A and B are shown apart, each in its own frame.
Chain A
Amino acid sequence: MDTLYFLLRLSLFSAIPLMVVALGGMFSEKSGVVNIALEGLMLIGAFTGIYALNLMQKAGMSGQMLYIYAMLVGGVMGLIFSLLHAYASVNMKANQVISGTALNLFTPALAIFLARMWTGTQQVNFNDMFFIQKVGFLANIPVIGDLFFQKAYISTYVGILILIISYYVLYKTKFGLRLRSCGEHPQAADAAGISVYKIRYAGVMISGFLAGLGGVILIVPTTTNFNATVSGFGFLALAVLIFGQWKPKRIMLAALFFGLMRVISNSYSLIDVLAKLKLPGEFYSIIPYVATLVVLAFVSKKSAAPLAAGTPYDQGKR
């Protein structure tokens, strides 16, 4: 049983950032803008967030609040960079894939350049003082305590909070309805008096914020320094988004599934049943991708993708 909890806890380290970034992608796509710049936005968020962490720790600050600050810094920087994508794809009506790719190519180079200039090396170090062994009495709750309140990071709770807020905003608020309408039928939304441009800007900015934040919460639990990479998690988040069919709850499940499979592929030797099967680790790493393909093949006819995602809004079009 301990092994199971251990594996599930481990999978949260990658599942939570995946979920947060995929939710970001969801906001952008629901507003009608495809955002394949998630990878680049994550990277710039991770860089600035970790660098802020580095500076604050050098100044002698400590405590969990630092982690929250770093997340906010990463998020805000992701938001700022997402404006480039928003401007190109909303105002300039550019091809959204191209402007996203441009960001993906630009940000790693920028991160390396700035890191070299500011710290002298490509790596940005931080001290991990955020790992929580036990969260008070909560750790003693059966199952839930074992899963969420032992050997955890606060980013897990932040991620869950973001999930709840995302769900609420998307389905229970006026803004959410407008956002969805702009992604489905912008002309109709416009006719109803909604500013499609503003809504799309908002969608992309939210995705930028969440991607930037997601970058920070990926780096802190998985390595000891930022080394100009987020290991392709931005693209993985896109797969999670598609697998989750653009719906918050399903995105959560998809992220957990991806995270768990990543863990199993590297640590299946701990699980007796799987160890006996003697399948190569790669088998388990492939499963999420094969599953995504299968899901795509089955639902492509009535895919839940926002209808207008990827097409620039043209008022003159009928």
Chain B
Amino acid sequence: MKKLLSLLTVLALVLTLVACASKEDTYELALVTDVGTIDDKSFNQGAWEGLVKYAEEKNIDYNYYQPTAKTTDEYVAAIDLAVKGGAKNVVTPGYLFENAIYVVQDKYPEVNFIILDGAAHNVVDWDTMATMDDSDVDFRLEDNVYSIFYKEQESGFLAGYAAVKDGYTELGFMGGMAVPAVVRFGYGFVQGADHAAEEMGVDINVKYHYTGVFWPTDEVQNTASAWYQGGTEVIFAAAGGAGNSVMKAAEQNDGKAIGVDVDQSAESTTVITSAKKELAESVYQCLTEIYNETSDFFIAGESVVMSVNNNGVGLPSDFSRFESFTEAQYQEVIDYLKNPPVELASDAISSVADVPVNVATVEIVE
């Protein structure tokens, strides 16, 4: 009797499971993550939040997919999975997806793809211009691809400008790795700080360093602590989770930190401001336009650039952690950036040593 009962229980359990699995689950909106996760407090999370916001408002089913490895094949496989799961719009945050999007834009012409920080192409090696299938170099964007770039250099510029205007003269930049977006943040930071220093007629120093990691370690904390101890007053950490180790060092050494990508003021009281990219907002807007079939700003098959001109980058509206930098000054520099006398340096320059500065001393720390 007992055996029979337990058998029945097991059978019932199995049947419920089968019932669950066979239910038709489709997720119309999908996000495929790159190396980070959907709660990395920066890139993927920002994109994910925009997607979730739109989906919840319009009551659309959504899901995310995490590739098993960071290779184009695995990215394509994850996108395959998403499409099989019923995705009609796929968001892919990060330039790492550029090759994958090049493949899937032809493979799934009926699916829309939003790629952040990148555009589709088939180049795998920029030095030799080698392509994925040895065909000619191709930058074709099909009509189902929306490519969104951000002017990180403007965001970094604002952070550097604000810091110097606020009275800091010893600055530091810690990037995760020298990937395009991080490089643009760093160059912008240097130029913004330089611009403010020139206006104010003060000398400033900027230490410039890539930590090599995007996660928190005692080594990043050691480096940051040493900088603070050596006189650095504020460090701009464009390094994902490694920024938390910088903030920790700031807490222990009476230093200040500047956050990245999203408003990171809640992470630590030492964060005076954050160099933001409006990831969530741009994904939300782009999805809105896709569903409304409008193209006010986002145009199918073209790259758009989010900048200060369309509020795509900027600092958080809370200025309370600054000593003297005000919103009025912020508006002024925004106006300056909308019409700069010289274009800001981009990641086309290979070393920060070649970024044009007037008064700032840039010290590269290997």
Contact = CB atoms under 8 A, between A and B. Distances in A.
Interface residues of A, number: 33
A147 to B, nearest CB: 15
Contact of A269 (B216, B225, B226, B268): B226
A225 interface: yes
Interface stretch (B100-108, B154-162, B242-250, B347-355): B242-250
Contacts of A121: 39, 41
Contact of A151 (B39, B223, B252, B268): B252
A227 B215 contact: yes
Contacts of B223: 266-267
A57 interface: no
A266 B222 contact: yes
B365 A269 contact: yes
A217 to B, nearest CB: 12
B228 to A, nearest CB: 10
B241 A266 contact: no
Contacts, number: 85
Nearest to B269: A127
A13 B221 contact: yes
B223 to A, nearest CB: 4
A291 B169 CA distance: 41
A223 interface: yes
Contacts of A151: 252
A227 B226 contact: no
A223 B251 contact: no
Contacts of A227: 215-216, 241, 244
A10 B267 contact: no
Given A128-B248, A222-B218, A281-B366, A10 B225 contact: yes
B323 interface: no
Contacts of A116: 39
A175 interface: no
Contacts of A161: none
**Of listed B220, B245, B252, B366, residue having the most chain A CB within 10 A:** B252
A222 B225 CA distance: 10
B219 interface: yes
7 contacts: A10-B225, A125-B267, A222-B216, A222-B218, A223-B221, A231-B215, A266-B222
Interface of A: 3, 6, 10, 13-14, 116, 120-123, 125, 128, 131, 151, 218, 221-225, 227, 229, 231, 262-263, 265-267, 269-270, 280-281, 285
3 closest A-B pairs by beta carbon, nearest first, are A267-B226, A121-B39, A223-B216
